[in-house]
Amino acid sequence: MRRGDFTYLTAGSGIEHSEFNWGDVPMRMIQVWMKPQHKNLHPHVQYATFNENCHLNQWYLMASDAKNNPIQLQQNVQIWVLKQEGNKKTEFLVAKNQQAYLVQLEGSSTINGECLSRYDGLEVYGEKIQIMTEREACFLLVVTPLSIGTELNEK
């Protein structure tokens, strides 16, 4: 895997899987686990590589349950990415019936009045996310309906 690579895996009825960095350079990756909408899915793997220019200073939808996305998820979840230059502002509206978890992958910024730096995270419920970067920064944003989070928190 290289910077910008995205792998989506559905375990379904069962898989054998392992991860190992065969290179000499340390690898950094984010894993997001989610419960699928339906049971008994077939095992499935999807790969995509994203050019950083597609999400420079704008939110880019990498994955969702929509059929026209590069990665199609088996859950009502959206995964967005943003690479933003320093000293720039941007916003993302989280609808009243949604929740979002934002991870600052690189850089530093002020988000809704909170100072964040590399690997910091922030939860948002039904409000606007306002980002002001101090220097170049990268973000990952996972958006779900409130009902998914409630269901997962109850179990």
How many distinct structural domains can be found in the chain? Answer: 1
| β-sheet bridge partners, residue 83 | 56, 138
- pTM reported for the whole predicted model: 0.82
Q: What CATH code is carried by the domain that includes residue 35?
A: 2.60.120.10
Rounded mean pLDDT, 45-59: 79
User: Helix, strand, or coil here: 54?
Assistant: helix
Q: Is the pLDDT of residue 102 over 90?
A: yes
CB-based burial of residue 16 (10 Å sphere; 0-12 exposed, 13-18 middle, 19+ buried)?
A: exposed
CA distances from 79 to 32, 115, 146 (A): 10, 22, 15
**Which structural domain, as residue segments, surrounds residue 48?**
5-154
Mean pLDDT, residues 54-61 taken together = 85
**Mean pLDDT lowest for which of 13-17, 21-25, 125-129, 151-155?**
151-155
Q: Which residues of 101-134 are buried (b: 16+ CB within 10 A; e: fewer)?
A: ebbbbebbbebeeeebeeeeebebeeeebebbbe
The pLDDT, as a whole number, for residue 150 is: 52
d(CA 83, CA 98): 23
Residue by residue, DSSP assigns 28-43 as: ---------SSSSPPP
* CA-to-CA separations, 126 to 38, 97, 153, in angstroms, rounded: 26, 6, 17
Q: Are 60 and 54 within 8 A, CB to CB?
A: yes
